[in-house]
Structure 1
Amino acid sequence: MTKHGTARNRGLAAELKALRAKAELTTRQVAKRVGMSIATVNRIENAQREITPEDVAALLAVYGVTGPERARTLVLARNANISGWRETDGEGLPLHLRALTCFESEATRITDVAMLRVPGLLQTAAYIRSALIAVGFPEDKRKEMATTRLRRQEVLRRRFPPNYRAVIDEAALRRPAGSRGLMAEQCRHLAQLTELPNVEIRVIPFEHGSHAGLDGSFMQLESEKHNPIIHVELPQSSMFLDAEHEIRPYRETSDNLWRVALSSAESVKFLRRIGSEYGRE
């Protein structure tokens, strides 16, 4: 199967699909209004076709999208075939978050490398709220962001879930993101998640010393239909990498860390031990 689609093109497709849903229109209704076939609309929304700025402008008009949102979407359309994508947060939920959710839903394999914070797909509701407060996330957007993150986690429990693995540095577990009770609950949650057949978590303890992951956290998403994507979360923005020469170092780092970390069984014991320590008065 031929793989295709830059991160920008796939993100644009996800955005257009979400905007259609928000406008409460079917693909049949959209196709009729813009003069496209239903198949063409479906291919656009599945990133199986090059999306031109003209196509996007026509679709945005049907969806009633105007102002800054329209301008930003058109910029994305004009640059859709450029490798790599850095998106800066705007009003409402970040555009990259919609794209990330789409990439996760399409993934057959997800690898999370987490150095300072528990990966988003593994966080408890209490941990999410505490983390959002800690980074100064706007209060009026916190509930929506927390709900969105919890909804993203459903990908791990769907009927045909991706093969998910996470490498977590001990620093992410030792630095409290809230009360001791919150952290105890989070560590127990991580241990419980490993009971899912598609989830594997490995911990790198401090005693294993320095390692390649100390340069930063990232997520690697692989799918059957598209080329791999690396997601790097940055302050007030997010970055997606899709060029092979950019992806290769991240893949090598995650493979290296998998060997450096404790085994799966030892990691579960480690998580339970830290959880018990947090649970003590």
Structure 2
Amino acid sequence: MIKKVATARGRTLGAELRDLRKKVDLTTRAAAARIGWTPSMLNRTENGLRATSAEEVAMILGAYGATGAERERLLSLARDAETPGWWETGDSIYPSPLKALIGFESQAVRITNIELALIPGLFQIPEYSRAIMRAADIPPLEIETRVATRLGRQAILSRPAPPKLIAIIDESALRRPVGGPTVMAEQLRVLARLAQRPNITVRVIPFHAGAHAALVGGFSILEFERARPLVHQEGNRSLSFVDSPTEVDSFVADVDTLTRTSLPPERSLDYIRMIATSFER
């Protein structure tokens, strides 16, 4: 479990620095001594748990003997990590775990989302999101802020190089009339359209499949180009992240099982459209 929330860009930069340290055959202790840091300080930097300036990265690169194109690439990455994302600017209206999640989603190359009770947030239309929040007695003004945040998160699906998104959704999420039949029908039509994009795969776990590996709770696996994958779990009032390789592997194994349990993509698409039609009657 990540005790302190890491940043996505910090984890990517940290992974690059860790790879470079290993490339020059230095232990964490030996490398820290060269830099003039403590081993724990270097370890936190490599895990993305400590903000690192471009100047500090230049110092690390000097200690490791990095030169030329590799040095410039890592310095550029460090400068990018210092630039705040849209969710990090201005007043801190987002809690740290949510800011971390948005950052991770923005950097992920592949997201696998397992959902039991609701349509995944990256697919939700505003009316559906508002209905969920009203049911939780969230104040109207806060609802609009949260809906805008959710729409901002969804922008990753329309960027030039979007992540690969795999959603495995329990049938109960498709049947629950959140916002009423009209809203639910529109939500399912939007889900069906999104499922046809080349970077998006949606699979449905039908009721007749019986018990399955995710009945204890949904989760998301976020994978990155350089940093280790991590798992995001959302509770009623909290978000948590897991990045222990052993624990992440157990979630990956669950996804393999759920893929076999769920309907193939084309049959899932037909299933979603069939349920949408039932709401339209």
Query: When the two structures are superposed, what TM-score results if normalisation uses the length of structure 1?
Result: 0.70
**Correspondence 1:183 to 2:184:** yes
In the alignment, which residue of structure 1 is the partner of 2:129?
A: 128
In the alignment, which residue of structure 2 is the partner of 1:9?
A: 6
Instruction: For residue 214 of structure 1, give the secondary structure of its aligned residue in structure 2.
Output: coil
**Correspondence 1:95 to 2:96:** yes
8 Å contact kept, 2:113–2:221: yes
Q: After TM superposition, give the deviation of residue 93 of structure 1 in Å.
A: 2.4
**Correspondence 1:246 to 2:243:** no
Alpha-carbon distance between aligned partners in 2 of 1:8 and 1:45, rounded to the nearest angstrom = 19
Q: Which runs of 5+ in 1 are unaligned?
A: 15-34, 48-62, 70-91
Alpha-carbon distance between aligned partners in 1 of 2:199 and 2:90, rounded to the nearest angstrom = 41
8 Å contact kept, 2:8–2:107: no
8 Å contact kept, 2:9–2:81: no
Within-5 A mapping of 1:73-222: 92-222=93-223
Alpha-carbon distance between aligned partners in 2 of 1:221 and 1:265, rounded to the nearest angstrom = 24
Q: After TM superposition, give the deviation of residue 37 of structure 1 in Å.
A: 3.2
Alpha-carbon distance between aligned partners in 2 of 1:98 and 1:272, rounded to the nearest angstrom = 34
Which amino acid is the alignment partner of residue 235 of structure 1?
N
8 Å contact kept, 1:113–1:166: yes
8 Å contact kept, 1:93–1:145: no
Which amino acid is the alignment partner of residue 253 of structure 2?
E
| Higher Rg | 2
Which amino acid is the alignment partner of residue 208 of structure 2?
E
Q: After TM superposition, give the deviation of residue 136 of structure 1 in Å.
A: 2.6
In the alignment, which residue of structure 2 is the partner of 1:37?
A: 55
Alpha-carbon distance between aligned partners in 2 of 1:224 and 1:205, rounded to the nearest angstrom = 33
What is the RMSD of the two structures over their aligned residues, measured on CA atoms? 2.8
Q: How many residues align?
A: 217
Cα deviation 1:247-271 (Å, max 9, x = unaligned)? 1221111111111100100000000
Which amino acid is the alignment partner of residue 109 of structure 2?
T
Q: After TM superposition, give the deviation of residue 11 of structure 1 in Å.
A: 5.9
Which amino acid is the alignment partner of residue 46 of structure 1?
A
**Correspondence 1:46 to 2:81:** yes
Q: 1:190 to 1:94 in 2, by over 3 A?
A: same
Cα deviation 1:106-154 (Å, max 9, x = unaligned)? 1110000000111000111111111111223333311111001011111
Alpha-carbon distance between aligned partners in 2 of 1:226 and 1:176, rounded to the nearest angstrom = 39
Alpha-carbon distance between aligned partners in 2 of 1:95 and 1:139, rounded to the nearest angstrom = 22
8 Å contact kept, 1:13–1:45: no
In the alignment, which residue of structure 1 is the partner of 2:63?
A: none
Q: After TM superposition, give the deviation of residue 189 of structure 1 in Å.
A: 0.7
Q: Structure 1 vs Structure 2: percent identity of aligned residues? A: 36
Alpha-carbon distance between aligned partners in 1 of 2:172 and 2:247, rounded to the nearest angstrom = 27
Q: After TM superposition, give the deviation of residue 194 of structure 1 in Å.
A: 1.3
Alpha-carbon distance between aligned partners in 2 of 1:109 and 1:246, rounded to the nearest angstrom = 18
Which amino acid is the alignment partner of residue 177 of structure 1?
V
Q: Which runs of 5+ in 2 are unaligned?
A: 12-52, 59-74, 83-88
Q: 1:204 to 1:166 in 2, by over 3 A?
A: same
Instruction: For residue 103 of structure 1, give the secondary structure of its aligned residue in structure 2.
Output: helix
Query: When the two structures are superposed, what TM-score results if normalisation uses the length of structure 2?
Result: 0.70
Q: After TM superposition, give the deviation of residue 169 of structure 1 in Å.
A: 0.2
Q: 1:160 to 1:6 in 2, by over 3 A?
A: farther
Q: 1:164 to 1:7 in 2, by over 3 A?
A: farther
Alpha-carbon distance between aligned partners in 1 of 2:127 and 2:263, rounded to the nearest angstrom = 27
Alpha-carbon distance between aligned partners in 1 of 2:4 and 2:205, rounded to the nearest angstrom = 30
8 Å contact kept, 2:6–2:100: no
8 Å contact kept, 1:202–1:267: yes
8 Å contact kept, 1:229–1:247: yes
Alpha-carbon distance between aligned partners in 1 of 2:250 and 2:4, rounded to the nearest angstrom = 18
8 Å contact kept, 1:205–1:261: yes
